[in-house]
Structure 1
Amino acid sequence: MDEKRKHPRTEVNEPAYVSSGGSVMHCTIVNISQEGAAIDIENPAFVPDRFRLVMANDSSEVYECRVIWTKKNRLGLSFVT
Structure 2
Amino acid sequence: MIEKRAAQRHRVFKGGTITFEGSGIACTVRNMSEGGAAVDLDSFVTLPQSFTLSIARDNFVRNCRPVWRNDTRVGIAFVQ
2:75 match:
76
Q: Distance in 2 between matches of 1:61 and 1:30?
A: 15
CA contact (8 A) 1:41 1:73 kept: yes
* 1:16 aligns to 2:55 (yes or no): no
2:50 match:
50
Amino acid at match of 2:6: K
Any unmatched runs of 5+ in structure 2?
none
Number of aligned residue pairs: 80
TM-score scaled by structure 2?
A: 0.92
* 1:2 aligns to 2:2 (yes or no): yes
2:29 match:
29
CA contact (8 A) 1:44 1:75 kept: no
Identity over the aligned pairs, expressed in percent?
Answer: 36
User: Alignment RMSD, CA only?
Assistant: 1.1
TM-score scaled by structure 1?
A: 0.91
Any unmatched runs of 5+ in structure 1?
none
User: Structure 1 residue 44: deviation in Å?
Assistant: 3.4
